[in-house]
């Protein structure tokens, strides 16, 4: 009789290899904490955090098919829009709120950032850097809106409506009294680069960055 039943999917092991930048984010999370992954996709990072860090992991995702896939793996994910739904969560509900490569696609990035740090003690935010030399070069020489491996869309169909450079982001944090606890400069492939994540050098040579923010 037992062979009739399909074996339940393993939820304690990540189903696929994670992007390198997600691995970096995962390494920043302490074990046995409460985490909200905002824009969690099909739950790759959540699944890893649950399995390897025994984290109380929750997710918010706008795509219904990805939510279905995440919930089907036994993950706690709801379908919703971060710009409206983050407001529901009470203050300090989580230890970490994670936002990967999404802030630049929000309508009100400042409010989103404020909400992340309201509902969690720490926010882990990753961003593409619009100040990278290739981007500057493409605009300077090509005279058209830049397209790179990190920013692959045309100006008219890109979801990224609030692109910024690293220095822009550092300025915003200052203006909002947000403390940058840690910062990592990353290559296009998500590999860590050995220079300050918040300086002019990173602003020119990092394709993306990851920041750990606190109030």
Q: Which CB atom, from 24 or from 75, has the smaller least distance to other proteins?
A: 75
Q: Which CB atom, from 21 or from 37, has the smaller least distance to other proteins?
A: 37
CB 48, min distance to other proteins, A: 15
95 makes contact with other proteins (CB under 8 A):
no
Measure the CA–CA gap between 64 and 144, rounded to whole angstroms.
Answer: 34
62 makes contact with other proteins (CB under 8 A):
no
CB 68, min distance to other proteins, A: 5
CB 156, min distance to other proteins, A: 28
**φ and ψ at residue 152, rounded to 5 degrees:** -85, 0
68 makes contact with other proteins (CB under 8 A):
yes
Q: Could you write out the DSSP letters of every residue in 160-186?
A: --S---HHHHHHHHHHTT-EEEEEEEE
Q: Could you write out the DSSP letters of every residue in the chain?
A: -GGGSPPPPP-SS-SSPPPHHHHHHHHTSPTT-EEEEET-TTSHHHHHHHHHH--EEEEEES-HHHHHHHHHTT-EEEE--HHHHGGGSPTT-EEEEEEES-GGG-S-HHHHHHHHHHHEEEEEEEEE-TTSHHHHHIIIII-S----SSS-S-TTT-S--S---HHHHHHHHHHTT-EEEEEEEE-TT--EESS-TTSHHHHHH-SEEEEEEE-
Q: Which CB atom, from 64 or from 141, has the smaller least distance to other proteins?
A: 64
11 makes contact with other proteins (CB under 8 A):
yes
101 makes contact with other proteins (CB under 8 A):
no
Residue of 83, 85, 95, 168 interacting with other proteins (CB under 8 A) = 85
CB 23, min distance to other proteins, A: 23
CB 70, min distance to other proteins, A: 8
Q: Which CB atom, from 73 or from 126, has the smaller least distance to other proteins?
A: 73
96 makes contact with other proteins (CB under 8 A):
no
Query: How far from the centroid of its chain's Cα atoms is residue 116's Cα?
Result: 12
54 makes contact with other proteins (CB under 8 A):
no
Q: Which stretch binds other proteins (CB under 8 A): 20-28, 77-85, 161-169, 194-202?
A: 77-85
Query: In the complex, which residues of this chain contact other proteins (CB under 8 A)?
Result: 1-2, 4-9, 11-12, 34, 56, 58, 64, 67-68, 71-80, 85, 88-90, 93-94
């Amino acid at each position: 009789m037992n062979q009739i039943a399909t074996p339940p999917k393993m939820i304690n092991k990540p189903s696929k290899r994670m992007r390198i930048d997600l691995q970096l984010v995962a390494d920043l999370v302490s074990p046995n904490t409460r985490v909200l992954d905002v824009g969690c996709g099909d739950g790759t990072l959540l699944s890893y955090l649950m399995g390897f860090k025994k984290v109380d992991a929750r997710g918010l995702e706008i795509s219904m098919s990805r939510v279905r896939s995440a919930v089907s793996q036994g993950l706690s994910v709801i379908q919703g829009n971060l710009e409206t739904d983050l407001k529901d969560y009470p203050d300090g509900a989580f230890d970490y709120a994670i936002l990967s490569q999404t802030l630049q696609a929000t309508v009100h990035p400042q409010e989103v950032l404020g909400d992340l740090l309201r509902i969690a003690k720490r926010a882990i935010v990753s961003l593409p850097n619009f100040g990278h030399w290739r981007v500057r070069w493409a605009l300077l020489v090509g005279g058209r809106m830049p397209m790179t491996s990190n920013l692959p869309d045309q100006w008219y169909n890109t979801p990224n409506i609030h692109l910024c450079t690293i220095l822009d982001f550092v300025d915003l944090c200052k203006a909002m009294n947000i403390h940058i606890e840690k910062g990592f400069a990353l290559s296009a492939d998500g590999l860590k680069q050995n220079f300050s994540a918040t300086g002019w050098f990173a602003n020119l040579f990092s394709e993306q960055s990851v920041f750990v923010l606190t109030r």
